[in-house]
Chain A
Amino acid sequence: MPYPADPSAALERASTPAWLAWVEAARAGDRAAFRSLHRDFASMVHGLLLARVEPSSADDLTQEVFLSAWQRLDELREALAWPRWLAAIARRRALDHRRALAKRPGTLPPELGDHEDTTGTRASVRSEAERLLILIRALPEPYVEPLLLRLVEGMSGPEIAERCDLSPGYVRVNLHRGMKLLRERLETKP
């Protein structure tokens, strides 16, 4: 197998994420490139939203996050910062959504409802999926996002590290520690 002419260039090409060119093109106004970004990053945004909002609201909020990103794309100074920038928009949008729900009369704050009972045995829980989701949300914060991205969105550890702009070691450790804690809670509170 022949070696590439320039090993450093080949290494650079390999380390360059595929979405970087889409971000550059989208900043220039390319809608097709932004649709590619949406296709690749929508599951990541959806997983980050699921860690904070109800599943029924996560789909609409995901689209709103991408629309907001499209309208404010000129504020992105570096294309490499795209995953972190998009994740920040998603987390802020989830926070705004919770605040808006808390201001509505007759509505309990969602965080109060989630943390009131971490066993997932409330009467309002209608499925095993919702019970598991409540259990994962009750875990320490560093474990929640990696576990949801892995178990709900189906992303692998390396994908999570790349999409969220995190180190693979950090993601791997948090995945295993979070899974271990979840197993313990599932055994104690079946």
Chain B
Amino acid sequence: MSEHDDYLWDRSGAVDLEVARIERELGPLGWRATSIAIDAPDTPLRPEPSRSAAPREPSRWRPALIAGVAMAAAVLGLVYLARHSDSITPASNESNPMIQPAAPPQRSPDLRDPFERRDGVRDSTAPARPSKPNASGQELLDPFGSTNEQTPTLRTQSELKNPFSGNPARTPDEPATQPSSLAGDLKDPFARARERSKPTSPTSLVDPFHGESKAPNKPNDSSGPSPDLKDPFSRRD
């Protein structure tokens, strides 16, 4: 180990001129002692660049983010409609295009009633429907042709009766009968109230300017004002 090496190690021994020259050249680049401000440790040394100073690049994920949000909104909307459709009344189904009305039950064309008219009313005067035996010889029953069927039957006007009075039903040209004649034993629940509200006399109207009712059959009837009332606009004399 030479003396020059000692100078390089701890500056002892003979001075190495080459090392000393390099030290002199590089000295200005060294650390210049300054104090550190740690009283406000949260304060950055250099201010953060403001966002408005540099234009911000559009994010690559923005279109994907927008598409994702839109899809999520659409799915949520469909789920909401699907859940809400359970609570919608059938009457409001017509106004909701998302809900398809239930198709009416259709009869099989093989089971069409040959005696049924186009308007759906079965003619009761038609002869009884013939029953056909099947392949096993048993007689098949027409499920629509039972004796207790509920399809309306055609009746003549004279056969129809009023369900309340038992009288024959009136024709459309006949004038309507009074309600009292239809059900004589029924009481009008509003009769008493109607009686109370009925005016006793057609002339018992109240004069809004005199504030007193004038009845023509009153004994002390006079054309002038009541003596108890004074005309506030009349002069004292």
Task: Give A residues with C-beta under 8 Å from B.
Answer: 31, 34-35, 38-39, 42-43, 46-47, 50, 55, 59-60, 62-64, 66-67, 70-71, 128-129, 132-133, 150-154, 156-158, 172, 175-176, 179, 182-183, 186
Contacts and interface: CB of A to CB of B under 8 A. Distances in A.
B27 interface: yes
Given A35-B35, A152-B27, A157-B9, 5 more contacts: A43-B30, A47-B30, A133-B29, A154-B30, A183-B18
A66 B38 CA distance: 9
Contacts, number: 83
Interface string B23-62: 1011111111111101101100110000000000000000
B29 A31 contact: no
Interface residues of B, number: 27
Contacts of B31: 42-43, 46-47, 59, 62, 153
A129 B25 contact: yes
Contact of B19 (A55, A66, A128, A179): A179
Contacts of A156: 9-11
B8 interface: yes
Contact of B29 (A38, A50, A70, A176): A50
B104 to A, nearest CB: 71
Contacts of A183: 18
Contacts of B33: 39, 42
B36 A179 contact: no
A52 to B, nearest CB: 14
B5 A176 contact: yes
Contact of A60 (B9, B29, B46): B46
B22 interface: yes
17 contacts: A31-B38, A34-B38, A39-B33, A42-B36, A47-B30, A63-B34, A63-B36, A66-B38, A67-B41, A129-B28, A152-B29, A154-B23, A154-B30, A156-B9, A172-B9, A176-B9, A179-B8
